[in-house]
Amino acid sequence: MKKNFLGNKWFFEDFLEVEDSASTWGFEIKKEVLSLKSKFQKIEIFDTKEFGRVLVLDGIVQLSTKNEFVYHEMLVHPSMFYHAKPKRVLIIGGGDGMALREVLKHPVDEVFLVDIDSKVIEVSKRYFKSDFSDKRVKIFNEDALAFVRQYKNYFDVIITDLTDPTPVAKFCWNRIFYSDVLNALTDNGVASFQSGSLNEPFAMKIRKDLSNIFKYFKTHRAFIESFPFSEYTFSFGSKRVNLDKVNVKNMFRGFDLKYYSPEIHYASGVMPKFFSAK
Ligand code: SAM
């Protein structure tokens, strides 16, 4: 017998920029863990029937404990391997602490994390057991827009784990910001960006802009069950490193990850025919 979901509590995601959207995406809630308004955004945490614990910011799903490892491994490790020996890393956004967890699997000297909203960090410590206590980590609660501009030729890897263009993040999704990221990288530096689903119009624009800023540009994809539309994309850029030529296979020694492997690295870099960065 089919269950009528209307009688139960469901969450439905707001589709950005899709005013006349004829579809939606949602999941059944077991328990509403938290709902508050910080100075910058609405923060909600749900325990769900299918995806475990879910973090939602301004109506957009950020992660689910069931499959966040796929997203965070794909966002972080390709860039760390593309660089080969990253010592100074910047995480932009990422207040849930999960990209940070992946970065710290590498022998880095220093990790800066800049998230505008200290409340996201606070609730992630409490409800997702995220750990920010490593001595190499420095947290800044500032707007990434002004923060990144202060650095030139400094970071080996920059990981951009920002919310989609919601009100608080929207000024970081443009060519000016991408150029600031490029300038903050060392010559052999590599930047990584969460870059939306394959076929979302705003994500197509993001990838097009990024590919115009970075001389070397590459997209990888992975299916993240708790994100709507289609496969999710992770975009990588560098001034000097030809990403297609790096032999990432050699870097995996000592790394035992749950999703990302040499085979996944190469397979995830193959795009469908309709996909075009330019
Ligand atoms: N996995 C995510 C996704 O799918 O979009 C991103 C996760 S992470 C929680 C996004 C973080 O970006 C949030 O904690 C938010 O506070 C931060 N953020 C948004 N706008 C920002 C800005 N202008 N400067 C710094 N951090 C920002």
Distance CA 235, CA 221 (A): 9
Q: Where in the chain is the domain with CATH 2.30.140.10?
A: 2-64
Q: Where in the chain is the domain with CATH 3.40.50.150?
A: 68-268
pTM, rounded to two decimals: 0.95
Distance from the alpha carbon of residue 203 to the mean position of ligand 1, in angstroms: 16
Question: Best substitution site from 117, 124, 170, 195 to test ligand 1's pocket, by max atoms within 8 Å of Cβ?
Answer: 117
Q: Per-residue pLDDT tens for 173-200? A: 999 999 999 999 999 999 999 998 888 7
Q: State in words which class domain 2-64 has.
A: mainly beta
Strand order in the sheet with 60-64: 10-12, 26-37, 42-48, 52-57, 60-64
Centroid of chain to Cα 9: 28
pLDDT, one tens digit for every residue, the chain (278 residues): 445 556 678 998 866 555 566 777 889 999 999 999 999 999 999 999 999 999 999 988 999 999 999 999 999 999 999 998 999 999 999 999 999 999 999 999 999 999 999 999 999 999 999 999 999 999 999 999 999 999 999 999 999 999 988 889 989 999 999 999 999 999 999 999 999 888 877 788 898 999 999 999 999 999 998 887 779 999 999 999 999 999 988 888 878 899 999 999 999 999 888 776 55
Distance from the alpha carbon of residue 128 to the mean position of ligand 1, in angstroms: 16
Q: Which CATH code of 3.40.50.150, 3.40.50.2300, 3.30.450.20, 3.40.50.970 fits the domain covering 68-268?
A: 3.40.50.150
Q: Please report the DSSP string for 137-177 in residue order.
A: EEEE-S-HHHHHHT-SS-EEEEEEEPPSS-TTTGGGSSHHH
What is the predicted pLDDT for the residue at 21? 67
Distance CA 221, CA 219 (A): 7
47 is catalytic: no
Q: Which of 96, 115, 117, 161 is catalytic?
A: 161
